[in-house]
Structure 1
C-alpha cells in the first residue's frame, strides 16, 4: 500500500461518454472524502467539451505541461471513438501522452480510452483490454500488445486498462484499494451500493464485500461496525451484545437476522474479515510471525489464529 498522495488526472476529450468519467470520478472523490490520499484533477485539450448526452462539460483544466511525482493519468472513453479520436483535440492528447508522463507516472484507461494510449505507443508489448466491441481496433493500433478479450480490467504494472463503462468503477475501486487499503475500498463500494465487486482476472468477490448482497439495515449496520473497527482498531474484538447494541436489536435477533440475510453466522463473518486483514498484512509485511498476526488481527493466541487460518484461507485466497 502506498502512503504518498496520489495525484489523479482524469483526461476528457470531446464526446466523452459521461459514465466513463462520472462513475470513476465519483468513486475516487468519495474515497478522497473518506480519507484516501488522493488529489483529483479533471483536464483536457479544451476547457469546454460536448458529452455523449448532448450537454456541455466545462471548467476543464489544461493538460499539465509536467506531471508531478506519483501521478496517475486516467483516460476516459468516448461515445463515438472512431470519429472523436480523429479530431485535433484527440491528437493533442496523443502527443501529450507521448511526452508528459514521467518514469513513475502510471497510466490508465476506461473503455475506448485505451485506443488513445495505443495511438501514443503506450501499450506496446503490454497486456491490456478495452470494450468488447473495440478489441480488434485495439489490436490493430497496438499490434505487439497482448490484448485480453475476457477481462474486466488488466493491471500490467505501470498501465491499467478497463473494459468499459461500469468497469471504470471497478478499476477506480481497485486503485483506491492500492492506495488506501481494501477496507476503505469496500466502504466506497458500499456507498455506491456495489456489493459485488469485480477484479482484474475473473469476476470475484472481495472478502470485505462478501455477504453484502442484501438490504437489511440492521445487518448492514453490524457489518459496517465490524469492518470499520477492523480498519481502525484491528485488535479489538466485538462481542455479540456490542454489535447488537450498534444495530439496535437484541443479540438473539441479530444472530437470527445475520444468518437469514448473509448465510453465515456473526462469528464466521468476523473471522472471515480477520483472515482478509491477515492476508493484507502478510502481503506487505511477509516477515510477520504468527504471534504478531494473531495480535494484529484480534485473535487471543497464535493457536487460535492457526485454527481459523486453516479453515478460511482457501475460501478467501
Structure 2
C-alpha cells in the first residue's frame, strides 16, 4: 500500500494560528517518524495576515488538480458576520467545489466548516464547528445537519472539527487510519497531548484513554499492552522488561492512569471483542482472538458493560 499523501492547507484572511499550527505540527512530527507526507500551504493571496496579526508570506496558489489520497485542510478564520465574503475566500470556495472528489479527504477546522458550506459540499451532510458557532452555522446554512458538542464529525470523506486543539485530535485519528495506532500514539506523546479518538458517534477508544499524563515509563507500558493485549501479559515479566519492581510498576500505573494494569488490559480486550461481535463474530471466537483466558471472563465483562 502506498501511504504517501499530499497535504494542502488552504489559508484565507484572518486565519487562526493554532488552527493551522496544531495540525501542521502534528503532521510534521509524523514526517519525522517516517510518514510519507508533503505539506503545502496554499491560498489566493501570497501574503495573508492572521487573526493574531502575524503575517504569512509566499503562499502558493492552489493547484488546478488534486491528487488522489490527498488531504485538503481548510483552516479557520476569525468569525465575523461577513466571514469568507472577501473576493479571495469566494475563490477558495469555488476552488473547493472544482477539485472535490471522493478520492481525497477534505477537512474543515472550526470556522473552515463555513467555507466548505459556502462551496455547497456540505449540503445535507453532518458537520460541526466550534460550540459557540453551531447555532449560527445551522441558521446560516439550514441545509446542513449540524452536530453540536462534538470534537469532530465525519460524513463520507469530509471531516469537520470543533477547532483549536480539536484539529490536533483529528490529525491523530487520521494518522492512525493512514498508518497505525503506534505512530499516532508517538506523535501524541511527542506533542505532550492527551490523545482523544472521537468520531461522529462520540466514542472514546480505550487504546487512547488514560493517557492524560506525561510519564514516559507508563506510556511505554501502555504501548506494550496495546500491541500485545492478545497475549498472556505477565505483570512480573512486564516489570522486569521495564527495569522496575512489580510493586513500583503497579503503584505508578495506578497513580498516573487511575486504574490498575489488570483493568486496563481487560478494557482494551473488551473494546476489541465488542467490535468483533458487532461485526458478526461469535462470542467464543471473539474472546479467543482478543486474549481472554475463557469465554466466561468475556461474558462477565460484557454483562457489566451492558452490550
TM range (shorter): 0.7 to 0.9
Corresponding residue number in structure 2 for 1:112: 111
- Say yes or no: does 1:207 pair with 2:206: yes
Structure 1 residue aligned with 2:264: 269
Q: How many residues align?
A: 306
Q: Secondary structure of 1:25's match?
A: helix
- Where does structure 1 lack aligned partners over 5 or more consecutive residues? none
Of 233, 247, 251, the residue aligned with 1:256 is 251
Matches within 5 A, 1:128-147: 128-147=127-146
Cα distance in 2 between the residues matched to 1:147 and 1:75: 18
Alignment of 1:292-307 (within 5 A): 297=290, 299=291, 304=293, 306-307=295-296
**Larger mean Cα displacement after TM superposition, 147-156 or 38-47:** 38-47
Q: Aligned partners of 1:136, 1:289: CA distance in 2, in Å?
A: 44
Contact 2:250 2:260 in 1 (8 A): yes
Per-residue deviation, 1:215? 4.3
Matched, 1:309 2:304: no
SS at match of 2:40: strand
- Once superposed, what is the RMSD of the aligned Cα atoms? 3.2
In the TM superposition, what whole-angstrom CA distance separates every residue of 1:58-78 from its partner, at most 9, and x where no partner exists?
343321110111222210101
SS at match of 1:273: helix
Q: Using the TM superposition, name which of 10-19 and 192-201 deviates more.
A: 192-201
**Kept in 2: contact 1:11–1:76 (CA 8 A):** yes
Rounded to whole Å, the distance in 2 between the matches of 1:276 and 1:187 is 21
SS at match of 1:199: coil
Contact 2:196/2:209 (<8 A) preserved: no
1:54 maps to 2:53? yes
Pick which of 304-313 and 117-126 moved more: 304-313
**1:125, distance to aligned residue in structure 2 (A):** 1.0
Report the secondary structure of 1:132's partner residue. coil
Residue 174 of structure 1 deviates from its aligned partner by 2.4
Any conservation in 1 of the 2:43–2:60 contact (CA below 8 Å)? yes
Within 5 A, what are the aligned runs for 1:157-306?
157-195=156-194, 197=196, 199-201=198-200, 204-227=203-226, 229-230=227-228, 237-278=232-273, 286=279, 297=290, 299=291, 304=293, 306=295
CA deviations 1:187-224 (Å, max 9, x no partner) are: 33333333362523475532112223344443333223
Residue 218 of structure 1: SS of its match in structure 2?
A: helix
- Whole-angstrom distance in 1 between the partners of 2:276 and 2:43: 39
Distance 1:141 1:5, change over 3 A: farther
**Mapped partners of 1:128, 1:251: distance in 2:** 47
Unaligned runs of 5+ in 2: none
CA distance in structure 2 between the aligned counterparts of 1:35 and 1:238, rounded to whole angstroms: 29
Deviation digits for residues 28-53 of structure 1 (CA, Å, limit 9, x no counterpart): 33234334564433222223321122
Q: CA, structure 1 residues 173+315, in 2 after alignment: closer, same or farther (shift >3 Å)?
A: farther
| Map of 1:92 onto structure 2 | 91
Name the SS of the counterpart of 1:208 in structure 2: helix
Seen in structure 2, the aligned counterparts of structure 1 residues 287 and 95 have a Cα distance that, compared at 3 Å, is same
